[in-house]
């Protein structure tokens, strides 16, 4: 009698929650809508539920592999707006679940080298990190951010 295999595909989401994101698998490759496990924030980081993400020329650089040293697969996108929904251990106390935050192009600079002090961020001697290039960006439902270099978005109502 032939052996039956049990289809457990539908159980994957029960075991490990997933998110949808758009990634580029290789330089020059297409944008692909995929599912990935929802990441847990590491030490000093928070997870953001993405509400919006701008589209910028650097995303084309990511797609085409024009940034030196970029690794794939990569989720493009900076200019992210979202809400913090999880905090990692040692996340700075200024960040709280439920806060609306933004994630920009500049993800990290040393804050102390001479180029940084002259506001020449791209020339940071310790190593510039760029959202959507150095690590996955905002073309995703959830994404990580370091607790260091982001800003809080405060909405006001006008008349």
**Contact in structure between 14 and 118 (CB atoms under 8 Å):** no
**Domain spans, the chain:** 16-152
Q: Return the CATH fold of 16-152.
A: Quinone Oxidoreductase; Chain A, domain 1 (3.90.180)
Q: Residue 142's pLDDT is what?
A: 67
Predicted pLDDT of residue 74:
95
pLDDT in tens, 33-76: 999 998 888 888 888 899 999 888 889 999 999 988 899 999 99
CA dihedral 97, 101, 106, 109 (to 10 degrees): -40
Two tokens at 149? 């270099």
pTM equals 0.77
């Amino acid at each position: 009698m032939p052996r039956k295999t049990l289809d457990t595909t539908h159980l994957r989401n029960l075991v490990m929650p997933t998110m949808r994101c758009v990634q580029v698998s290789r330089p020059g490759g297409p944008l692909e809508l995929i599912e990935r496990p929802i990441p847990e924030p590491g030490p000093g980081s928070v997870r953001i539920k993405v509400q919006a993400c701008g589209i910028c020329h650097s995303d084309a650089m990511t797609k085409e592999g024009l940034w030196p040293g970029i690794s794939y697969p990569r989720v493009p996108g900076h200019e992210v707006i979202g809400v913090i929904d999880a905090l990692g251990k040692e996340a700075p106390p200024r960040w709280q679940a439920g806060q609306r935050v933004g994630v920009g192009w500049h993800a990290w600079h040393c804050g102390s080298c001479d180029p940084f002090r002259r506001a020449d961020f791209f020339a940071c001697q310790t190593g510039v990190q760029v959202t959507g290039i150095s690590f996955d960006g905002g073309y995703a439902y959830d994404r990580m951010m370091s607790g260091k270099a982001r800003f809080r978005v405060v909405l006001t109502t006008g008349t």
